[in-house]
Amino acid sequence: MTDKQTGGALAGFRVIDLTRVLGGPFCTQLLSDHGAEVIKVEPPQGDEVRDWGPPFKDGLSAYFSGVNRNKRSLGLDLRSARGQEILFQLLEGADVMIDNFKAGSLEKWGIGYEDVIAKRFPSLIYCSITGFGADGPYGGFPGYDAVAQALSGQISVNGSPESGPMRIGVPIIDLATGLYASIGILMAAEERRRSGQGQRVDASLFDTGVALLHPQAANYFMSGKAPVLTGNSHPNISPYDLYKTKQGQLFLAIGNDRQFRLLGETLGHPEWATDPRFLHNPERLEHRHELNAAITEALSTHVAEEVSSTLLAKGAPAGAVLTIAEVAELPHTLHREMVVELDGYRGTGIPIKMGRTPGSIRAKPPHYGSATRDVLAGLGYDRTQVDDLIADEVAFTERAKPPV
Model confidence at 372: pLDDT above 70: yes
Q: Catalytic: 388? A: no
Q: What pLDDT score does 6 carry?
A: 62
Span 197-253, pLDDT tens digits: 999 999 999 999 999 999 999 999 999 999 999 899 999 999 999 999 999 999 999
* Best CA proximity match to 260, nearest among 318, 306, 320, 303: 318
SS3 of 130, please?
Answer: strand
Model confidence at 337: pLDDT above 90: yes
> Could you tell me which residue, 174 or 404, shows the higher pLDDT?
174
Average pLDDT, integer, range 91-104: 95
Model confidence at 385: pLDDT above 70: yes
Q: What pLDDT score does 4 carry?
A: 43
SS3 of 109, please?
Answer: coil
Q: What pLDDT score does 404 carry?
A: 61
Span 265-276, pLDDT tens digits: 999 999 999 999
Average per-residue pLDDT in the chain?
95
Please tell me the distance from the alpha carbon of residue 344 to that of residue 350, in angstroms, as a whole number: 18
Q: What pLDDT score does 395 carry?
A: 98
In this structure, which amino acid lies at residue 318?
A
Please tell me the distance from the alpha carbon of residue 93 to that of residue 143, in angstroms, as a whole number: 31
C-alpha separations of 117 from 43, 125, 189, 286 in Å: 19, 10, 17, 58
Average pLDDT, integer, range 150-176: 95
* Best CA proximity match to 311, nearest among 249, 253, 269: 253
Q: What pLDDT score does 5 carry?
A: 46
Residue 401's pLDDT band, with cuts at 50, 70 and 90, is: confident
Q: Which of 95, 174, 207, 241 is the catalytic position? A: 174
Span 44-79, pLDDT tens digits: 999 999 999 999 999 999 999 999 999 999 999 999
Average pLDDT, integer, range 70-90: 98
- Domains belonging to the chain, first-starting first, are 3-212+352-396 (3.40.50.10540), 240-329 (3.30.1540.10)
Model confidence at 402: pLDDT above 90: no
